[in-house]
């Protein structure tokens, strides 16, 4: 409809909700997911959506994510504590899409989605706003505020600013014009001392011990770095991968951890010739699920698909090197200007 914003359409839809509306970010919510959920909560509340809650599954693991909940009064609860959640309720997925491995399919009907990951196809949503070219979901939510002339309160502006900071690695990873515009507009509304405090809470003492062990496992092959983490802590994997990519000469990181239920994989790429999402899909091919962005992606292989006599380390390295060599050979044979897109898409 002419002049109707995305927020208008979403609110119109949610007004029809038979009972409660749950905002659901991905499991183990990170700062971008928490900020986006908080921002959307305020937007929907200000537009008169009542019976609203933010619900997530699993654990909030990282110190900075936990600190955000207190600093910004985030009304978020665990799915297991949402006693009124049921089939009659609707959900808006945030920073994730239905069927992705990192989101629990709760009893609610997922009627809407706002995300910045690669498009996983129409899952029967009544509202969808998926922008894979944007570096953070927080920038999309910030856009909803400014587009609708709603001023984000200080706690929301600060959370969204921090979400952009984290998901774009300080505007250096996959940042779009929207991330930069929203960063600029949020900045004067935010409390920078809170950002400073969060930056000072990015790892816990326990994390440090896990990192120390993990960094001993780092192995380099050309531009690729491999790291194995002996922990069930999901969010550390990506952060450890970021550190591996920052090693001089290394542009691609593969971090993985073995769990009782399978192997969790996180990939990073700072190379224009290799997409993290293509790499992870190659690693899990025929055995599990994976996806993400050009610069960061994740995947999972369930334990039942693993062969006991195959070493996980060898398996991951074999597949990653095969991907690297074939993409590298391919790109060397192609016209240089076309090589990245020709092979990778
Ligand atoms: Mn995100």
Contact 48, 42 (CB under 8 A): no
Greatest mean pLDDT among 98-107, 201-210, 230-239, 246-255 lies in 246-255
For 181-197, what is the mean pLDDT? 98
Domain boundaries, the chain: 6-199, 206-344
226 by DSSP, 3-state: which?
strand
- Tell me, in angstroms, the distance from the centre of ligand 1 to residue 154's CA: 21
**pLDDT category, 337, cuts 50, 70, 90?**
very low
Q: What is the mean pLDDT of the chain?
A: 92
Tell me how far apart the alpha carbons of residues 215 and 3 are, in angstroms, rounded to a whole number: 53
Q: Compute the distance from residue 187 Cα to the ligand 1 centre, in Å.
A: 19
What gap in Å lies between CA 175 and CA 79, rounded to an integer?
32
Q: Can you name the residues that pair with 284 across neighbouring β-strands?
A: none
Q: What is the CATH number of domain 6-199?
A: 3.90.1640.10
Question: Which residues surround the ion ligand 1 when the cut-off is CB under 5 Å?
Answer: 32, 95, 137, 167
Q: How do residues 196-213 score in pLDDT, each as one tens digit?
A: 999 999 888 888 899 999
Place of tokens 């029967």: 124
Helix (H) or strand (E) segment spanning residue 318: helix 312-333
Q: Summarize pLDDT for 251-298 with one digit per residue, the tens.
A: 999 999 998 889 999 999 999 999 999 999 999 999 999 988 889 999
Query: Which two three-digit tokens encode residue 77?
Result: 């609860």
pLDDT value at 189 more than 80:
yes
CATH (one of 3.90.1150.10, 3.40.630.30, 3.40.50.1110, 3.10.310.30) for 206-344: 3.10.310.30
Which pLDDT value is given to residue 330?
54
pTM (two decimals): 0.86
CB atoms within 10 A of CB 335: 8
Q: What is the pLDDT of residue 345?
A: 30
C-alpha 28 – ligand 1 centre gap (Å): 12
Using the mean position of ligand 1's atoms as its centre, give its distance from the Cα of residue 167 in Å: 6
Cα(324) to ligand 1 centroid in Å equals 26
Report the separation in Å between the CA atom of 41 and the middle of ligand 1, taken as the mean of its atom positions.
17
Ligand 1 centroid – CA 136 distance (Å): 5
Residue 328: its pLDDT value, please?
67
């Amino acid at each position: 409809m002419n002049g109707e914003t995305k927020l208008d359409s979403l609110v119109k839809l949610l007004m029809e909700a038979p009972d409660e509306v749950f905002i659901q970010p991905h499991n183990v919510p990170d700062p971008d997911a928490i900020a986006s959920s908080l921002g959307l909560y305020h937007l929907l509340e200000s537009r008169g959506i009542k019976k609203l809650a933010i619900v997530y599954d699993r654990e909030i693991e990282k110190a900075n994510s936990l600190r955000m909940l207190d600093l910004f009064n985030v009304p978020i609860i665990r799915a297991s504590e949402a006693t009124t959640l049921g089939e009659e309720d609707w959900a808006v997925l945030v920073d994730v899409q239905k069927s992705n491995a990192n989101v629990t399919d709760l009893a609610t009907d997922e009627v809407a989605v706002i995300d910045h990951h690669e498009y996983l196809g129409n899952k029967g949503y009544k509202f969808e706003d998926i922008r894979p070219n944007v570096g953070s979901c927080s920038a999309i939510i910030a856009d909803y505020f400014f587009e609708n002339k709603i001023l984000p309160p200080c706690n929301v502006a600060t959370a969204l600013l921090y979400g952009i900071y984290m998901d774009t690695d300080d505007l250096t990873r996959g940042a779009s014009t929207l991330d930069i515009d929203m960063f600029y507009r949020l900045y004067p509304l935010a409390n920078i001392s809170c950002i400073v405090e969060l930056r000072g809470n990015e790892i816990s003492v326990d994390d440090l011990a896990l990192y120390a062990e993990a960094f001993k496992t780092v192995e380099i092959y050309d531009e690729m770095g491999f790291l194995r983490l002996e922990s069930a802590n999901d969010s550390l994997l990506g952060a450890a991968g970021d550190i591996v990519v920052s090693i001089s000469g290394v542009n691609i990181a593969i971090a993985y951890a073995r769990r009782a239920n399978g192997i969790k994989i996180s990939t990073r790429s700072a190379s224009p010739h290799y997409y993290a999402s293509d790499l992870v899909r190659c690693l899990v091919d025929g055995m599990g699920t994976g996806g993400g962005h050009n610069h960061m992606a994740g995947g999972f292989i369930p334990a039942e698909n693993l062969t006991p006599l195959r070493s996980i380390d060898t398996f991951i390295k074999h597949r990653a090197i095969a991907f690297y060599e074939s993409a590298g050979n391919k790109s060397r044979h192609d016209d240089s200007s076309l090589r990245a897109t020709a092979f990778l898409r």
